[in-house]
Structure 1
């Protein structure tokens, strides 16, 4: 996530440099500068993770960097049909060499050898990019898209925000069935790009927030957008969300929090309760204004309330309702 400085510049918590890294001196300088600024590194081996010699060289070069957060191996290995054992081989080698930092990858497809590729990771990310696509005809390849044939940029998608929440739930469900739910996690990758190939436009800032909050409400423990540079609108919205997470993480990442999830007229609501307080994180998937009833969401009494995030949301304590703008989102801590 991103945060904003007082001088109105943008600051990232995690940076994911995209290879190739041909100039190793420049790479060292970048990583050191990141460390000085308090930025974590997601180290990408997408072009080299199937080369054991390269993996050994890169892991040994990077593993002792104090700001290394995690490794990244396969970039949509299912989409490029990488060998089915490729991610496991890289995973085992990385752990032999490092054994400390988690390994991540992103999967593009709904379910194409999902188990085989996910076996080689600690963090499986989904990148359901559904903004600005044509789900029935590929403007990239000039072919129809059906359940059996075609590539429209988002596998088996309907071009709705629910594509994201469904994919998050499917990934989490598979982790549970495989017995991996306590050893592996799902992260989300919101779309922050557009105007190319399958995607005819960029998301708005509010649409970016909806994507991210859907990932959080559906169990995502991390969010890394693709990619930067992006629009000022997305930068501003991402920064506002990151700033608000300072308050929300005490609920979302609290192991003792009790969690409930509610969907009400395409308003997706996550509710985390810690002690006498509840965080309500509500996002409107509709392109029109709507109102959320807290009573219908299971919150029957509201005393004090504090808004910790505003992307087009207003709480009325007296009526127990949250008014949400078109694709609006709000975060509130209720006592």
Structure 2
């Protein structure tokens, strides 16, 4: 464990302290840097809860553990915890309790709210998100502080000028504190990142600091490119520019495709209600550039976004293919590697490709797909903004490669290593990935997408039912995925599966309104290496439009009665609440609202492996606004 982030020259430390004192003496912090969101605020955030109760009634009361903390009994049992394959675990495969601190550590993190910022942005919209959470994890740079310290003085310094660009006060063990600053205080727009330092003080005594890179890029149109795609660090969602020039959230939901029959593809995508296609190029990339250009244009006209997949493209051709892709406004992001961990592809090669793509086009995110639970995770993901995970749990041979080379004898199958053939495998995978992300200090800079299984009858894996597909999507979203990509290049879905895909495609625009809210559970590590939850749920609160999104999933084969108690939420009227359902599993019961004074709860029943998504709203406010409930999907398997 590292007690301090870095050792600084005495002169620099004195200079920093002088800047800190000067700034606090001359600025009204309440006016300049108001903390507009923290974990103590319940207006707009999500709440995540799981249950391993063996009873038939599962209750969720809205009480949560402190962010970023685990008990010493909650130690991972993975063979490769907590770092990559070079880490030598203890003989039982876990980190011993002696490796964990006896007291929680201050885990100071600073992240740009948007990545990247642009020259064309309003200079006043920029901000840094400061997390001052406590953790028992051995995160590098986390420090032990006195229990008497309840507030921190935060100073953020531009290293180029040694000047403070913003400052403020945060409460210890809060997340999502927003610090605004003018972009112009960084300097001129540049393709090189600006380096700033976040420093924490208590009563003017230096405690800790974190370096952070801030991208402030020139107008892409100067380089013959279109609008940039951003990542919003409070929610982890992608932000795209709409027809009116404003940023809006996009929750990608799509399919992979390697052919170029544009008319057939576009018709299929529109029919499936998906908004993204993972376009897989061959070794030569776009061999007919005029044809590919027209193909991308046609996809754009249909409103289809593109995950530009260069996994097969020869290294010497990557740059020319980026030149083609970045000129199209519907190119969403790049995909550089498909299951490199399972295939045993050399880590350095994967990392080099990701960095070269970022260098050539810093205006779009970069992604890759991992197949293994935890094999060289930190090394493979380095340089990537988005990581996709694709454990195939339905009908998979858990100890065979499933047509893909195994990682090695220790880490098992690359199809679904350490899986039990249960939907809990999906929960486990996302939580392990979140755990690794937390240890790498990338809670807000690495996002996860899920790959719900949707194999065709011609593939080796079992074809999921429509109910199974929707359950997988629901699990991924509850556990924190902000994108869904399904792989079935032949586009030959059973009628049942096709209807399920259409249901999710129709529901995601409504769900996206809530996923763009600040996510309070992002930094939470998993509770155990393999979960035993029988019921999971997530709530997203939106005070602005007086609504709550509720998503639930039953991970057991038996019918379950459930009850959810949302946290305090101020409706204009609590006398006329109503639920609108987005989708619900067959023969499962819609929730009933039980009201007691100004509090309420939801109760319902789910069949084995049942699921549902509902929006709670104030009927009176809805009627007064002249609005209408969100479109509903009546999902059945008949």
Q: TM-score band (shorter)?
A: 0.7 to 0.9
Q: Which runs of 5+ in 1 are unaligned?
A: none
Q: Is the 8 A contact 2:372 2:413 kept in 1?
A: no
Q: How much does 1:197 deviate?
A: 6.7
1:206 matches 2:467: yes
For the residue of structure 1 that corresponds to 2:552, the secondary structure is strand
Secondary structure in 2 matching 1:287: coil
Give the TM-score normalised by the residue count of structure 1: 0.85
- Deviation track 1:24-54 (CA, whole Å, cap 9, x = no partner) reads 4442232111011011011011112xx4321
Q: Does 1:273 find its partner at 2:535?
A: no
Question: What is aligned with 1:112?
Answer: 375
- Pick the structure with greater CA Rg: 2
Aligned-pair distance for 1:10?
2.5
Secondary structure of 2:398's aligned partner: coil
3-state SS of paired residue (1:286): coil
Counterpart contact for 2:368–2:387, Cα < 8 Å = yes
Matched, 1:327 2:609: yes
Query: Does the 8 Å CA contact 1:140/1:197 hold for their aligned counterparts?
Result: no
Structure 1 position 202, deviation (Å): 0.4
Q: Which residue of 1 aligns with 2:426?
A: 164
Q: 1:306 aligns with which of 569, 577, 580?
A: 580
**Aligned equivalents of 1:252 and 1:85: distance in 2?**
34
Q: TM-score w.r.t. structure 2 length? A: 0.47
The aligned counterpart of 2:262 is none
Q: Deviations over 1:61-120 (max 9, x none)?
A: 111111100000010011111111122211221122111000000001111111110003
Distance in 1, Cα, partners of 2:425 & 2:414: 14
Deviation at residue 248 of structure 1 after TM alignment? 1.9
Work out whether residues 258 and 273 of structure 1, in 8 Å CA contact, stay in contact via their aligned partners in 2. no
Name whichever of 83-92 and 69-78 sits farther off: 83-92
Could you tell me which residue of structure 2 aligns to residue 37 of structure 1? 302
Do 1:46 and 1:74's aligned partners in 2 also have CA atoms closer than 8 Å? yes
Aligned partner of residue 486 in structure 2, secondary structure: coil
Whole-angstrom CA distance in 1 between matches of 2:516 and 2:431: 18
| 1:126 alignment partner, one of 360, 380, 389 | 389
The equivalent of 2:21 in structure 1 is: none
Q: Distance in 1 between matches of 2:508 and 2:555?
A: 21
Using CA pairs under 8 Å that are at least 6 residues apart, name the structure with larger relative contact order, 1 or 2: 2
Task: Say if 1:152 and 1:71 are closer, same or farther in 2 by CA, change over 3 A.
Answer: closer
CA RMSD of aligned residues (A): 3.3
Partners of 1:134 and 1:245 in 2: how far apart? Answer: 31
- Whole-Å Cα distance in 1 between the matches of residues 578 and 457 of structure 2? 44
More helix by share: 1
The answer on 1:180 being equivalent to 2:442 is yes
1:1-335 matches, cutoff 5 A: 1=253, 9-20=271-282, 21-48=286-313, 51-135=314-398, 148=410, 151=413, 153-193=415-455, 195=457, 199=461, 201-228=462-489, 229=491, 230-255=493-518, 266-275=534-543, 277-295=547-565, 303-312=577-586, 313-317=588-592, 320-335=602-617
Of 264-273 and 165-174, deviating more is 264-273
Q: Please give the secondary structure, in 2, of the residue aligned with 1:215.
A: helix
1:73–1:265 CA distance, 2 compared to 1 (3 A): closer
What is the CA–CA distance in structure 1 between the aligned matches of 2:362 and 2:439, rounded to whole Å? Answer: 26
Tell me the SS of whatever aligns to 1:34.
Answer: helix
- CA gap of 1:137–1:75, structure 2 versus 1, over 3 A, is closer
How many angstroms apart in 2 are the aligned matches of 1:168 and 1:175?
10
Shift of residue 151, structure 1, vs aligned partner: 3.4
> Cα offset for 1:168?
0.6
Q: 1:226 to 1:137 in 2, by over 3 A?
A: closer
Contact kept, 8 Å, 1:134 with 1:152, in 2: the verdict is: no
Whole-Å Cα distance in 1 between the matches of residues 592 and 514 of structure 2? Answer: 21
Distance 1:222 1:164 in 2: 14
Distance change in 2, residues 1:140/1:56 (3 Å)? closer
